[in-house]
Amino acid sequence: MKLESTPQGVVAGSIPLFAGHPSHDLLPIAGVRRAAASLWGGGQVTRLFDYGDEQGNPQLIEFLVERLNRVERLGISRENLMIIGGATGGVDLICDQLTQAGDVVLVDAPSYRDALHIFRDRHLDVRDVAIDDGGAIVGDMARSLRALADAGRAPKFYYVVPNFQNPSGITMPEARRRAIIELSRQYGFAIVEDDVYNDIRFCDALPPSFYALAAGENVLRMGTYSKTLAPGLRIGWLLASAARIADFVSSGVLKMGGGANPFTAAIVAEYCRSGEWEAHLAWLRGQYRQRRDIAQSALDAAMPPGVSYSRPNGGYFIWLHLPPTVDIADLAERARWENVYFAPGTGFYVDPEQGARHLRLSFSFVPIDDLRAGIEILGRLIREMSA
């Protein structure tokens, strides 16, 4: 199957191993069509075309609150959750509400590229914390916080992707989450928990969320349908204290715009209510697990000694560490000549130089044959360059 469209910088006919969204053959197009048809037939069609509630579609809020309480025993109520235009929209909304230009925010090194982009757009002072295979190193974070405090400053929030982090694939263990919550209490910063890969897991359970461990205190947690349904719907959710949700909902843009994407939110609510989403999710996990296994075997076969890579138990990404002989820009150029594109590590750091020995591969998007072929090509190029 060759790609027809070119969203997100995907070159038609290429092997875009950088693309972190669902493969077109994993989109539940027929199911979403059924949900839309049921709303059309149910006499609610004009409601779809009108402004919506500021907090978001009430049926979708009800569904998500019930599910989070059932699956994670969170004990939240509808006052704790609002619908957002995807997690990216949530990150921007949080910056809008909690920060001003020049404020300090903490991120992991590396961290999600588009969040860094938003922080730069908002002229925030972004400080990074080194990670190891359990995520942010608490001692380093504490040192950074003390240095900031000595200068009379404190971060507004710490932004973290706690599960199957983009780009490293790391899931932070519970003890570390607890230690960071302690620091957030001591220094008075919020935790922005971007949990978009929670449902794409190939293991039984994940550590409790920051939101659960802190009993919701000063944590803002996001989820999205982009990874488990379709990114074009632009629907996600934000969990926070009732007071914070009330503040956010009263922002000018939501008041006037009538909530996030009411048209698609209503269709997503119907799709979820019918039980189709849970069934799709169970199937999807198997599909992504298979893709992860294929990518992992292809890497094992193709990569020379000196290249190491993550073995994620969920999410979309594999993070590679290259030998010093391989220049990342040179590798990207050579790969482009062979029609293969990857995400160089440089984009995921505040200081791009720190990512010069890394690259991120995504197994979510490209057809399986291209996944194998793309990794084989990269392996050959890296072998040639490290010889």
Ligand X SMILES: Cc1ncc(COP(=O)(O)O)c(C=O)c1O
- Contact at 8 Å (CB) between 77 and 55? no
With CB under 6 A as the contact rule, the residue among 166, 168, 310, 346 that binds ligand X is 166
Please list the residues that pair with 130 across neighbouring strands: 109
Residue with smaller CB distance to ligand X, 166 or 261: 166
Beta-sheet pairing, 135-136 with 219-224: unpaired
Please, which of residues 12-41 interact with ligand X by CB under 6 A? 20
Residue with smaller CB distance to ligand X, 87 or 131: 87
Please, which of residues 110-149 interact with ligand X by CB under 6 A? 112
Q: Does 161 bind ligand X (CB under 6 A)?
A: yes
Report the nearest approach of ligand X to the CB of residue 21 (Å): 7
Of 83-91, 145-153, 335-343, 378-386, which part binds ligand X (CB under 6 A)? 83-91
With CB under 6 A as the contact rule, the residue among 16, 236, 355, 379 that binds ligand X is 236
Of 85-93, 126-134, 252-260, 348-356, which part binds ligand X (CB under 6 A)? 85-93
| Cα gap 141→296, rounded to integer Å | 32
Of 62-70, 86-94, 295-303, 319-327, which part binds ligand X (CB under 6 A)? 86-94
| Cα gap 157→130, rounded to integer Å | 16
The closest of 72, 113, 55 to 319, measured between CA atoms, is 113
Report the nearest approach of ligand X to the CB of residue 166 (Å): 4
Report the nearest approach of ligand X to the CB of residue 283 (Å): 20
Number of residues counted as binding ligand X (CB under 6 A): 13
Q: Does 328 bind ligand X (CB under 6 A)?
A: no
Of 65-73, 80-88, 137-145, 147-155, which part binds ligand X (CB under 6 A)? 80-88
With CB under 6 A as the contact rule, the residue among 231, 259, 314, 345 that binds ligand X is 231
Q: Does 87 bind ligand X (CB under 6 A)?
A: yes
Report the nearest approach of ligand X to the CB of residue 161 (Å): 4
Report the nearest approach of ligand X to the CB of residue 120 (Å): 16
Q: Does 196 bind ligand X (CB under 6 A)?
A: yes
Residue with smaller CB distance to ligand X, 170 or 326: 170
| C-alpha to C-alpha distances, 334 to 18, 116, 329, 344, 378, nearest whole angstrom | 15, 27, 9, 13, 9
With CB under 6 A as the contact rule, the residue among 54, 92, 193, 194 that binds ligand X is 194
Report the nearest approach of ligand X to the CB of residue 194 (Å): 5
Of 4-12, 75-83, 223-231, 342-350, which part binds ligand X (CB under 6 A)? 223-231
With CB under 6 A as the contact rule, the residue among 14, 23, 80, 88 that binds ligand X is 88
- Contact at 8 Å (CB) between 70 and 63? no
| Cα gap 348→280, rounded to integer Å | 31
Residue with smaller CB distance to ligand X, 80 or 166: 166
Of 27-35, 224-232, 267-275, 378-386, which part binds ligand X (CB under 6 A)? 224-232
Residue nearest to ligand X (CB): 86
Interface with ligand X (CB under 6 A): 20, 86-88, 112, 161, 166, 194, 196, 224, 226, 231, 236
